[in-house]
Amino acid sequence: MSASAKTLNPNEAPKEYEPALKNDVKTAELGNICRACDWRQDCEGKVRCISYELQNGMKRKDDCSVVSKKV
């Protein structure tokens, strides 16, 4: 299943933010995808944006790679 066919889980975004697929974010001028995330400064390693599982077991349940955008 492609990422665009998946349903994003808004409950996995920080409060007052919504997820947006990383593939839908224009980043050519930004260089780093994290610069497109509105939650970046408050992230502090509380990753809720990647589709693969980290060593600590953290992973998005919807299997999508996202950035968080302010609502």
Domain count, the chain: 1
What global pTM score does this model have? 0.76
Task: Write out the residue range of the structural domain in which residue 42 sits.
Answer: 3-70
Residue with tokens 């996995």: 12
Q: Look-up: residue for tokens 């809720």?
A: 48
Each residue's pLDDT tens digit, 2-16: 444 568 988 889 999
> Residue 5: its pLDDT value, please?
55
Residue 55 is predicted with a pLDDT of 83
pLDDT of res. 44: 76
For 17, phi and psi rounded to 5 degrees?
-130, 160
Cβ atoms of 37 and 49 within 8 Å: the answer is yes
- Going by pLDDT thresholds of 50, 70 and 90, the confidence category of residue 1 is very low
Of 64, 14, 66, 20, give the one whose Cα is nearest residue 41: 14
pLDDT in tens, 26-61: 777 777 888 889 998 888 777 788 888 888 888 888
Task: Say which residues have a Cβ less than 8 Å from residue 63's Cβ, sequence separation at least 6.
Answer: 6, 51
